Amino acid sequence: MELFLIQLTVFVLAVFVGFEIISKVPSMLHTPLMSATNAIHGIILVGAMLIAGAAAGGPVGRAIGIAAMVLATINVVGGFAVTERMLEMFKGKSGTRS
Amino acid sequence: MTVQQTALSIAYLVTAVLFILGLKFLSSPKTARRGNILAMVGMVIAVIATGFDTQIVSWTDIAIGALIGAPIGLVSARLVKMTAMPQMVALFNGAGGGAAALVSSGEFLRLLNSGEAPTWYQMLPIVLSCIIGSISFSGSLVAFAKLQELMTGRPITYKGQQIVNGLVLLGIIALVVMLLSGNVTPAPFVGLIAAALLLGVLAVLPIGGADMPVVISLLNSFTGVAVAVTGFALNSTVLIISGTLVGASGTLLTTLMATAMNRSLANVLFGAFGAVRATEGGAAAAPGGGTVRSASVEDVATLLAYSRSVIIVPGYGMAVAQAQHAVRELAQNLEKRGVDVKFAIHPVAGRMPGHMNVLLAEANVPYEQLHEMDEINPQFESADVALVIGANDVTNPAARNVPNSPIYGMPILDVDKAKNVVVLKRSMNPGFAGIDNPLYENPKTIMLFGDAKDSVSKLAASSASA
């Protein structure tokens, strides 16, 4: 229960931080924001590594681990790559890259 | 706590900080790229740190998964067209949701095999993450299919739809109660995942293509929450923080999009908006019975060339016709003639929040020229020409003055306040939402029918030579 309370504290604080920083993002950048946050939830890759690396749970467990790894890697790699591709297009009047 | 565990925790803390800073840098187009790189560095740190976790005893399956996933992610991210960005984001989002559900399933399996009976508060986060992750996974796939036009973008409805969805939801609740009350066996768990996957599909089916910006934002927040809840199950603060950040972002964008359409979230999700297709009018006779004036490219080119200020209102139709580059050329030519050119961007222009900005950025339109609705609306009155390219519902004055219109109350761009309105359109067919637009019968409005790219290219050419 003590552990749960610590987790809950972290969660609630993160909610406030999240709303605070996201509300500062201009609507111009909302698509890159969405794809960047998309890449960030790819942090589930960490969980996928733990599941796949534990090599427990027999063939079903292995299949679950590998599938989780595949999906999480697609999420992380694709998410960051596509965000980068979008952001490098945003240029100001001077033509300099952002 | 061993030294190793402490080092791991600190590495994860650094990751969380880098994610937060990365998102903070996204508040300006000047620093946005740096923000993405910071987040990437954070991700790399987390992955390397996890590699030192003692739970990992074999690298085989990790390597197999990564070697399959990485090229898929990289290649699709490189190849995707900017117009197809919404469905790409939907797919990546679905992948994340699916991964969260799988990780929780793996954790469930570990608890089962451990021999000890898991307590209800061990089970709760696992169960929640599986439900939310599965809904996000299957819902995203349906959203992808709709946006990619693999299936109809119109809402799919049938009698008793809400009841069916309600029953599936009840089934999910029953299974959750079973799992939490001590019946920890694989059967109800598999049933739970199947029911959640089904609910994801059923929930997105009745939502029309025009509402996809809201749906994608919402599913984005779902995956975020699923990841955060998985963090509770695995006792990983970095998952909790990162997932929550995404959840907050998705929630904010969802409410923002719903507000921009003056609809409640419930209405978007259950309203089956645009289900009834409005009657199609012919090319000459407007649906309302009034007449529309159509003009030639030359007329419009002259009008534009002798204006002082022009506000361009791009819509998704412009992107579909791949006219962005021609539009940028036209804007540049007009500017050379001393015309003040601005772009007015409606919050729901395109198929996801901020989509239009990305499409115009791709065509090298400087972001200083792009103006948000609240900023540009007071300026229409002093504009000589409002040039509407492939936008429809977001310019529809019925939203202001026809109380029985389905879009009544939706904030729109006040193009009808400009001295002249030029609408570039393929035909008189109603827009994505299937609603007639009285703007076209306005005496100030002239229509230029034809393919947007073709028309704009001709306009650009005449504006360069004239």
Categorize the per-residue pLDDT at B462 as very low, low, confident or very high, splitting at 50, 70 and 90: confident
CB B228 within 8 A of CB B238: no
Q: What pLDDT is attached to residue B350?
A: 82
Provide the number of CB pairs (under 8 Å) joining chain A to chain B: 396
Query: Rg for chain B (alpha carbons), in Å?
Result: 25
Token digits of residue A92? 């100001």
Q: What is the DSSP letter of A97?
A: B
- Report the pLDDT averaged over residues B135-150: 94
Q: Does the CB of A30 have a partner CB in chain B at under 8 Å?
A: yes
Question: What residues 272-301 of chain B have any CB closer than 8 A to a CB of chain A?
Answer: none
Q: What is the DSSP letter of B285?
A: B
Amino acid code (one letter) for B16 = A
pLDDT in tens, B149-171: 898 878 888 888 889 999 999 99
Task: State how far the Cα of B427 lies from the Cα of B150, in Å rounded to an integer.
Answer: 24
Q: What pLDDT is attached to residue A1?
A: 73
Q: What pLDDT is attached to residue B260?
A: 85
pLDDT in tens, A32-90: 999 999 999 999 999 999 999 987 778 999 999 999 999 999 999 999 999 999 999 98
- Report the pLDDT averaged over residues B406-430: 87
Q: What pLDDT is attached to residue B277?
A: 41
pLDDT at B256 over 60: yes
Task: State how far the Cα of B35 lies from the Cα of B26, in Å rounded to an integer.
Answer: 6
Question: What residues 35-64 of chain A have any CB closer than 8 A to a CB of chain B?
Answer: 35-57, 60-62, 64
Q: What is the pTM of this model?
A: 0.89
Task: State how far the Cα of B389 lies from the Cα of B232, in Å rounded to an integer.
Answer: 48
Q: What is the DSSP letter of A91?
A: B
Contacts of B167 (CB under 8 A, 6+ apart): none
- Report the pLDDT averaged over residues B263-279: 67
Q: Is B340 designated active site? A: no
Q: What pLDDT is attached to residue A97?
A: 45
pLDDT at B433 over 70: no
Contacts of B202 (CB under 8 A, 6+ apart): B161, B164, B165, B168
Q: What pLDDT is attached to residue A94?
A: 65
Query: Rg for chain A (alpha carbons), in Å?
Result: 18
Categorize the per-residue pLDDT at B95 as very low, low, confident or very high, splitting at 50, 70 and 90: very high
- Report the pLDDT averaged over residues B420-436: 77
pLDDT at B354 over 80: yes
Burial readout B128-161 (b: 16 or more C-beta within 10 A, e: otherwise): bbbbbbbbbbbbbbbbbbbbeeeeebbbbeeeeb
Categorize the per-residue pLDDT at B92 as very low, low, confident or very high, splitting at 50, 70 and 90: very high
Task: State how far the Cα of A9 lies from the Cα of A3, in Å rounded to an integer.
Answer: 10
pLDDT at B279 over 60: no
pLDDT at B284 over 60: no
Q: What pLDDT is attached to residue B405?
A: 81
Q: What is the dihedral of CA B215, B218, B222, B223, to 10 degrees?
A: 70
Question: For B192-206, B280-294, B307-321, which range has the lowest pLDDT when averaged over its residues?
Answer: B280-294
pLDDT at B273 over 80: no
CB B258 within 8 A of CB B264: yes
Categorize the per-residue pLDDT at A24 as very low, low, confident or very high, splitting at 50, 70 and 90: very high
Contacts of B291 (CB under 8 A, 6+ apart): B284, B285, B441
Question: What residues 415-444 of chain B have any CB closer than 8 A to a CB of chain A?
Answer: none
CB A35 within 8 A of CB A86: yes
pLDDT in tens, B188-234: 999 999 999 999 999 999 988 778 888 999 999 999 999 999 999 99
B240 contacts in chain A (CB < 8 Å): 7, 10-11, 14
Q: What pLDDT is attached to residue B44?
A: 97
Token digits of residue B184? 């920890």
Give the DSSP H or E segment for B358. helix B355-362
- The answer to whether the Cβ–Cβ distance between A43 and B243 falls below 8 Å is yes
Q: What pLDDT is attached to residue B117?
A: 80
Structure ipTM: 0.94
B241 contacts in chain A (CB < 8 Å): 10, 14
Residues B293-465: name the CATH superfamily.
Answer: TPP-binding domain (3.40.50.1220)
Nearest to A39 among B27, B39, B53 (CB): B39
Per-chain mean pLDDT for chain B = 89
Q: Does the CB of A90 have a partner CB in chain B at under 8 Å?
A: yes
Q: Does the CB of A5 have a partner CB in chain B at under 8 Å?
A: no
Give the distance from residue A76's alpha carbon to the nearest chain B alpha carbon, in angstroms.
8
Task: State how far the Cα of B89 lies from the Cα of B211, in Å rounded to an integer.
Answer: 15
A59 contacts in chain B (CB < 8 Å): none
- Domain ranges for chain B: 85-270, 293-465
Q: What pLDDT is attached to residue B286?
A: 41
Nearest to A75 among B95, B364, B367 (CB): B95
Categorize the per-residue pLDDT at B300 as very low, low, confident or very high, splitting at 50, 70 and 90: very high
Q: What percent of chain B has pLDDT over 90?
A: 62
With CA atoms as reference, the chain A residue closest to B31 would be A98
* Annotated catalytic residue within B393, B414, B416, B436: B393
Task: State how far the Cα of B391 lies from the Cα of B464, in Å rounded to an integer.
Answer: 25
Categorize the per-residue pLDDT at B406 as very low, low, confident or very high, splitting at 50, 70 and 90: confident
pLDDT in tens, B22-75: 999 999 999 999 999 999 999 999 999 999 998 899 999 999 999 999 999 999
Give the distance from residue B388's alpha carbon to the nearest chain A alpha carbon, in angstroms.
19
Task: State how far the Cα of B435 lies from the Cα of B261, in Å rounded to an integer.
Answer: 14
Q: Does the CB of B17 have a partner CB in chain A at under 8 Å?
A: no
The side-by-side arrangement of strands in the sheet containing B445-449 is B293-294, B445-449, B420-425, B385-389, B309-314, B340-345, B370-372
Q: Does the CB of B68 have a partner CB in chain A at under 8 Å?
A: yes
DSSP string covering B359-402 = HHHHTT--GGGEEEHHHHGGGGGG-SEEEEES--GGG-THHHH-
Q: Does the CB of B254 have a partner CB in chain A at under 8 Å?
A: no
Distances (CA, A) of A51 to B109, B286, B297: 10, 61, 62
Burial degree of B54 (CB within 10 A; 0-12, 13-18, 19+):
exposed
- The answer to whether the Cβ–Cβ distance between B96 and A44 falls below 8 Å is yes
Question: For A36-40, B271-275, B362-366, which range has the lowest pLDDT when averaged over its residues?
Answer: B271-275
CA atoms within 13 A on the CB side of B457: 9
Task: State how far the Cα of B328 lies from the Cα of B317, in Å rounded to an integer.
Answer: 15
Q: Which SS3 state, helix, strand or coil, does residue B265 take?
A: helix
Categorize the per-residue pLDDT at B136 as very low, low, confident or very high, splitting at 50, 70 and 90: very high
